[in-house]
Chain A
Amino acid sequence: MKTLFPIAPAGNAKRSRAGWTLVEMLVALFCGMIILASLTAVTVFASRSYLAIANYRDLDNNSRNALDVMSRDIRSMAVVTSYSSSAISLSNIDGSTVTFSWNPAATTFTRTYTPAGGTATTSTLLTNCTILVFQVYSQVPTNSFQFPSTDSNPSETKLIDVSWRCARSILGGAETNSESVQTAKIVIRNHS
């Protein structure tokens, strides 16, 4: 067997005290750096991947929960009392009210429920909500599955369309791998 870089001539009496040459040291350092760099790259990539998938699972969980809560509330309500593209308020026959509101600065989406004659409770349904849009429509369909908008007279609303997108960025990178997009149409089913 021969080594690539003979340390000392074979049979040299001072063999046991020989060190590494500069070239050997440089080559070893270079190899070590390459190995460390690739290990770091793999670790960062793997961490990002797991974080992205965990984030997505979390965001999707919240989105589904928010939609379930909204659907239950809106379906049982009677009339829309106020509307904007980021907030909507409804009231029921018994006087209870519910307001859903998106705060663009805080990127949160909240629900405020006030039972008849009771006190209001507010809960946060979504965080990291980068955009949310409400649209309201009346009951009679027109051409091609379109419904007339009731922006100017919200009390005529029977159909509420909501879309949102929640996203988080990972270690300052792109958000695309941990985002949750949700859309839904909800029909108000109660009437006075």
Chain B
Amino acid sequence: MKLRLISEPLSVLAAKAGAPHLAQRAFTLVEAMCSAAIAAIVLLALFSGLNSGFTLTQMERENLRATQIALARMEGLRLYLWSSNQLFNPQMLPNTFTDYYYPSGIGGFSSNTVYTGSVTIANVTLKPSASYSTNMQQVIVKVGWQDAFYGRTNYHTRTFNTYVARWGIQNYIFVQQ
């Protein structure tokens, strides 16, 4: 394409209107293709940006549910007594568990992320050491899940840590000893 500077008076231009150069100018194929390519890139960027935003939101929602599930486990743990029948009994406090994005009470939705969790109870090592450390246990609740965003399987985990004290709140709540 040739650019041409218009430096003539309008009357002169009008007189030349019949000239093929000025009257029949249109977009060339290259121009049209360039503009189409630019439009395609802009649209693609817009869509992928929105899509990425949605994906991140969905991942955050699953993340948030994972914290709720771990937290519910922790809260239930408050009712467990320091005894071989309850806190230290894997039958009563299973080492692994399963939960869902849509909990049992409000289920019935099609896509339901599965969360697999584990509960570990371990001895506590304090630094500096303290005599009461034998009256404490560390509880680790770990929740893992997977999703399939960005065309691949992604694995996620969240871990909560807490200490359980032998003479802790459960004795205050229930006075059952």
- A interface residues, Cβ below 8 angstroms from B: 1-4, 6-7, 10-13, 15-16, 38, 42, 45-46, 49, 52-53, 56, 60, 131, 133, 135, 139-145, 147, 158-159, 161, 163-165, 177, 180-189, 191
Is A144 a contact partner of B20 (Cβ separation < 8 A)? no
Is A145 a contact partner of B50 (Cβ separation < 8 A)? no
Chain B 93-126: CB-based contact to A (< 8 A → 1; otherwise 0): 1100100011101100000000000000000000
B173 within 8 A of partner (CB): yes
In the complex, which residues of chain A have a beta carbon less than 8 angstroms from the beta carbon of B173?
Answer: 139, 158, 187-189, 191
* Shortest distance between the CB of A175 and any CB in chain B (Å): 10
25 contacts between A and B (CB under 8 A): A3-B25, A10-B23, A16-B18, A38-B43, A46-B46, A53-B54, A53-B57, A135-B105, A141-B79, A141-B80, A144-B92, A147-B76, A158-B173, A164-B106, A181-B65, A181-B102, A181-B103, A183-B68, A183-B69, A183-B72, A185-B72, A186-B75, A187-B79, A188-B173, A191-B175
In the complex, which residues of chain B have a beta carbon less than 8 angstroms from the beta carbon of A131?
Answer: 105-106
CA distance A42 to B175 in the complex (A): 64
Report if A145-B54 is in contact (Cβ < 8 Å); known contacts: A7-B24, A11-B18, A182-B68.
no
CA distance A139 to B54 in the complex (A): 41
Chain B facing A: main interface SS: helix
- B interface residues, Cβ below 8 angstroms from A: 1, 14, 17-18, 20-21, 23-26, 28, 43, 46-47, 50, 53-54, 57, 61, 64-65, 68-69, 71-73, 75-76, 78-80, 86, 91-94, 97, 101-103, 105-106, 169, 172-176
Report if A49-B26 is in contact (Cβ < 8 Å); known contacts: A144-B91, A144-B94, A191-B173.
no
CA distance A4 to B28 in the complex (A): 9
* Shortest distance between the CB of A78 and any CB in chain B (Å): 11
Report if A181-B25 is in contact (Cβ < 8 Å); known contacts: A56-B61, A145-B93.
no
Chain A facing B: main interface SS: mixed
Give 4 closest A-B pairs by Cβ, nearest first. A133-B105, A3-B26, A10-B20, A185-B75
In the complex, which residues of chain B have a beta carbon less than 8 angstroms from the beta carbon of A7?
Answer: 23-24
Please name the residue on chain A nearest to B111 by beta carbon. Answer: A176
